[in-house]
């Protein structure tokens, strides 16, 4: 079965790296727009780190649900919010990039995850294969 979390994370990482490479290319071609491309890249890196953290937390909560152990761990929202704020502060205060571009970058990884999830659900409904090896 391919509709699982590690596969989703791998694909999200791949597509987010694609966005990062687009930002690098834009930075190289249009140096005048450095605040926008740079802010977008910093935000994208922050959102990717947040996605990794969220995947770790989700796996941990699923483990706890399966084993039936009781734990007082939270969902890690504060940590992810701190990652976002850190990305924004580094981008705007330290590197003097654009704030709106940074916010757009922070939104990149969740949007990629949403689109991948919707495509995967549609493919599974159609009964098509969902990975390169023909497995479902």
Residues contributing to the site for other proteins (CB under 8 A):
1, 3-5, 8-9, 47, 50-51, 54-55, 58-59, 61-62, 64-66, 68, 75, 77, 80-81, 84-85, 87-89, 92, 99, 102-103, 106-107, 109-111, 113-114, 117, 120
Q: Residues 42, 97: contact at Cβ < 8 Å?
A: yes
Which residue lies nearer to other proteins by CB, 25 or 128? Answer: 128
Which residue lies nearer to other proteins by CB, 31 or 70? Answer: 70
Helices (H), the chain: 5-29, 34-67, 77-89, 99-106, 108-126
Q: Residues 129, 135: contact at Cβ < 8 Å?
A: yes
The least CB distance from residue 29 to other proteins, in Å, is 27
Owner of token pair 């995967």: 120
In order of 1, 4, 57, 103, 111, the CA distances from 100 in angstroms are 39, 33, 28, 5, 16
The least CB distance from residue 33 to other proteins, in Å, is 20
The least CB distance from residue 124 to other proteins, in Å, is 9
């Amino acid at each position: 079965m391919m509709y699982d979390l590690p596969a989703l994370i791998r694909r999200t990482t791949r597509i987010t790296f694609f966005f990062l490479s687009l930002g690098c290319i834009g930075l190289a071609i249009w140096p005048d727009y450095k605040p926008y491309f740079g802010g977008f890249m910093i935000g994208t890196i922050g959102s990717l780190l947040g996605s990794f953290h969220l995947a770790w937390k989700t796996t941990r909560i699923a483990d706890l649900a399966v084993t039936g152990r009781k734990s007082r761990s939270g969902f890690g929202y504060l940590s992810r919010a701190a990652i976002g704020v850190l990305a924004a502060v580094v981008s705007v205060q330290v590197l003097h990039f654009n704030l709106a571009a940074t916010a757009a970058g922070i939104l990149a990884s969740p949007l990629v995850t949403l689109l991948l999830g919707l495509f995967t659900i549609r493919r599974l409904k159609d009964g098509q294969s969902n990975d390169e090896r023909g497995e479902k």
